[in-house]
């Protein structure tokens, strides 16, 4: 719908006139959504939203999910999201339940399951989640297959998750030089660091350990400089910078420099 920013999607069983339970109530950005449902009768409806208003809900549409073999079905993966990146070694993989399944076969690999005899990890569990600890920085792929005593479902789609706990290299400060006297406003500058997506600028009081005010440390992106506009004449101010990568790893702090505000 024109001017719609998001959509509110609701699914109930059996219908909105006499709802037995609310199955789904979520906000989506696209005009489609996938979910797994048990056999039964359902209704769904949608409302378009933007920053200031919402449409009335659409006329509900009824549909029925029939019971069938799991052979032609596939599990929907929930989290971690596809192409996600984390710096936490312990991960919990989750997926949606599939009606008729009694267990789920989980596989994790680093080579896209080219050789199933050499995958990194696999296990069968009765529930919809499993914990795993990443052994090293790497890109991993995972998938799940529902099973019961008589049948196996199709493999789910393959999702990728990256693990990176290695912090960026230390930032090298550029200007102003340590001990220099500068006028306001001044530009605090440093050399960019490979892999960094943002930087944290620490500006400190004359004791060299207390943040200058509650705004610090301040985070800057897409630049290797920060415009400093506060401070009083003659004041001694310390500063240092850290680099942060896409996984959230923060480097060690740069060397500590100081400058004086010109009188």
Determine the structural domain holding residue 136 and report its residue range: 70-163
Residues 61 and 78 in one domain: no
Q: Which of 50, 65, 80 is the last residue of a domain?
A: 65
Residues 53 and 122 in one domain: no
216: CATH: 2.60.40.10
- Is 168 inside a domain boundary? no
Residues 135 and 182 in one domain: no
CA 181, CA 210: separation in Å to the nearest integer?
21
- Is 218 inside a domain boundary? yes
Residues 15 and 60 in one domain: yes
- Is 203 inside a domain boundary? yes
- Is 116 inside a domain boundary? yes
Residues 211 and 230 in one domain: yes
Residues 77 and 109 in one domain: yes
Residues 91 and 52 in one domain: no
| pLDDT on residue 109 | 98
Residues 104 and 178 in one domain: no
Q: In what order do the strands lie in the sheet with 173-175?
A: 173-175, 186-190, 225-228
| pLDDT on residue 96 | 95
For the chain, the domain total comes to 3
Q: Is residue 142 within 8 Å of 158, Cβ to Cβ?
A: yes
| pLDDT on residue 19 | 85
Give one DSSP letter per residue of 60-93, joined into a string. Answer: PEEEEEPP--GGG-BPPEEESPTTEEES-SEEEE
| pLDDT on residue 57 | 97
Which tens digit of pLDDT belongs to each residue from 96-106?
Answer: 999 999 999 99
Helix (H, G, I), strand (E, B) or coil at 8: strand
Residues 61 and 75 in one domain: no
Q: Which of 17, 45, 65 is the last residue of a domain?
A: 65
Q: In this structure, what token pair is assigned to residue 68?
A: 């069938």
Residues 178 and 219 in one domain: yes
Q: Which of 37, 65, 93 is the last residue of a domain?
A: 65
Which tens digit of pLDDT belongs to each residue from 143-185?
Answer: 999 999 999 999 999 999 999 999 999 999 999 999 999 999 9
Q: Which residues of the chain have pLDDT under 50?
A: none
Q: In this structure, what token pair is assigned to residue 113?
A: 């399951």
35: CATH: 2.60.40
The reported pTM is: 0.81
| pLDDT on residue 67 | 87
Q: Is residue 161 within 8 Å of 140, Cβ to Cβ?
A: yes
- Is 1 inside a domain boundary? no
Residues 57 and 80 in one domain: no
């Amino acid at each position: 719908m024109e001017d719609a920013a998001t959509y509110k999607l609701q699914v109930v069983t059996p219908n909105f006139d006499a709802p037995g339970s609310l199955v789904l109530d979520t906000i989506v950005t696209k005009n489609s959504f996938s979910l797994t449902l048990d056999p039964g009768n359902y209704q769904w409806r949608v409302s378009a939203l933007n920053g200031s208003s919402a449409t009335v809900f659409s006329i509900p549409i009824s549909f029925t999910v029939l019971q069938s073999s799991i052979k032609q079905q596939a599990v929907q993966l929930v989290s971690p999201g596809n192409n996600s990146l984390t710096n936490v070694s312990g991960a919990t993989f989750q997926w949606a339940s599939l009606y008729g399944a009694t267990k789920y076969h989980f596989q994790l690999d680093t080579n896209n399951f080219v050789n199933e005899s050499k995958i990194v990890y696999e296990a069968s569990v009765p529930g919809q989640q499993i914990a795993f600890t990443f052994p090293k920085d790497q890109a991993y792929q995972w998938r799940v297959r529902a099973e019961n005593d008589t049948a196996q479902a199709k493999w789910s789609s393959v999702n990728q998750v990256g693990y990176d706990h290695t912090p960026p290299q230390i930032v090298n400060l550029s200007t102003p030089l340590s001990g220099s006297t500068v006028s306001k406003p001044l530009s605090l500058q440093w050399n960019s660091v490979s892999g960094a997506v943002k930087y944290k600028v620490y500006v400190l009081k004359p004791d060299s350990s207390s943040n200058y005010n509650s705004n610090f440390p301040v985070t800057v992106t897409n630049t290797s400089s920060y415009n400093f506009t506060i401070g009083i004449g003659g004041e001694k101010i310390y500063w240092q910078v850290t680099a942060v990568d896409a996984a959230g790893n923060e480097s060690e702090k740069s060397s500590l420099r100081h400058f004086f505000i010109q009188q």
